[in-house]
Amino acid sequence: MSAIRSADVTVIGGGLAGLPAALEAAQHGATRVLLIDKSPRVGGNSAKATSGINGANTRAQAGQHLADSPSLFANDTLRSGQGRSDPALVDVLANESASAVAFVEHEAKVALDVVVQAGGHSAARTHREAPRSDGKPAPVGWDIVQGLAKRVAEVEAVEVVTGATVTALERDDDGGFHVRMDVKPKADGQQAEVQEIKTRTVVLATGGFSANAALLAKYAPHLPAQLPTTNGDWAQGEGLVLAQSLGATLIDLDQVQLHPTAFVDPADPNARTKFLAPEALRGHGSILLQHGRRFTNELGTRAQIVAAMAGQPALLVANDAVVAKFDPAVIRFYGKRGLMRTGIVGVDALADLMRNGLGPCVVPDVTVAGLTAELGAYTAAAKGEKPDVLGKTVFPAEFRATDTFAVACVTPAVHYTMGGVRIDKDARVVRNGGVVPGLYAAGEVSGGVHGANRLAGNSLLECVVFGRRAGKNAALFRGVEESKHVAARWSKL
């Protein structure tokens, strides 16, 4: 016999889209909110994020006199999307970015005081934590998710159910939804319990499908099958199936982002799942080398850098100045994991490391003179003595032959699925002729924000902005009459 629950709002997915959705739903009058996650604990891919969250006109920007605006931010995002982004969604993303950053700081109790200019951005707007004084790492995604999870646990109206896989999402006779889920047993040897939920509204916050080889082959057959991924095994795309069962429109499923810098572990170079070498490493000044030479503007978009890599790995090189700004504790963590070689003193030692190889990154013919000249040319461009031959105009760090270096071998990896369930600016799930009444989506399960390429820092931001909108609107949903009004509006477009 199935256990039956009831809810005003059911949020499926407990990552950085689902957690704000649950909070906003409770804050806007929902007295029974269920937050469901299939993993043993909430977090999802957002817990792995290390570069930060974007915001224009934020507290931190004002304090550091960093010029930016929502319109400039929106233009950067639209340009990155190459004509495939929905301008209405991008407008919401940019204009609500500062309030999203403030929401994270207040609700998660995370101070986002460091602001960097990441690839594809024309201003410094990617916010992250400062290095901790106790020498421990400050992983921004993990800290945000854990802070929000703690906040959710304090809200009486929200019940969190982990270890629960949603197997069906259907309409019920009252205009709401019927959700079926399998809840993992607390003890070994017991069977999963089937539970059913009668709910007025549903928010899909289930993430993307970057770890689902079958869906990648189906929707993005142009990608090489052997590409690794930075995603956890949970990124399977179940939300797409649930939405499709209710007639939802799916868009841009062929738009899959490759991140240019996933760590290659020399001890396991062929591992399918790889640690991400975050955008912030380049945002703070790291350079990329192939055959001992720079080959791309390190602050270009991810798509531009992947194209320049031409399917080959590269060496990511930081110096002591980059390490100090990024987070020395995180660099030490990478070193302990064998993902970075640290403490490489001087260009002679750097050349020796490159000749001997770091995983597949081997440069047998590199010379000290050649490396010295390459670093010298870069620093001359950074000082404004001559233009950079690769078009770089922002130089967060200078490099010298006497520096102490931290080095990693990096390679492109499947990182993010830009497409998904089509939503409108209020996070309502769209289908032909209108919306699916009472169904909302936010985060990577949705499509339309990023188009053909996602900018660094826009994933966490999208989750917060549209997760909040989805939760609020799900709580305030007025039923069939609202849906008829929306359908009439869509028919005129």
Question: Would you please indicate which residues are annotated as catalytic (active-site) residues?
Answer: 259, 282
Place of tokens 């995180």: 330
Vertex 116: Cα angle to 113 and 120 (nearest 5): 145
CA distance 345 to 406: 9
Structural contact between residues 111 and 105, judged by C-beta atoms closer than 8 angstroms: yes
Q: Which DSSP state fits 71?
A: H
Using CB atoms within 10 A of its CB, is residue 19 exposed (0-12), middle (13-18) or buried (19+)? buried
Hey, what are 58's tokens? 């934020």
Structural contact between residues 8 and 190, judged by C-beta atoms closer than 8 angstroms: no
CA 235 vs CA 45, 111, 140, 206, 239: distances in Å: 8, 28, 20, 8, 10
CA atoms within 13 A on the CB side of 282: 29
CA 65 vs CA 101, 105, 124, 322, 361: distances in Å: 17, 19, 10, 21, 40
CA distance 349 to 352: 5
CA distance 267 to 283: 27
CA-closest candidate to residue 313, choices 265, 367, 371: 265
Most distant pair of Cα atoms in the chain: their distance: 76
Q: Is 386 left (phi over 0), alpha (psi -120 to 50) or beta?
A: beta
Structural contact between residues 246 and 171, judged by C-beta atoms closer than 8 angstroms: yes
List all residues 6 or more positions away from 298 whose beta carbon is below 8 Å from its beta carbon: 119, 282, 286, 287, 288, 305, 392
Single-letter residue type at 440: Y
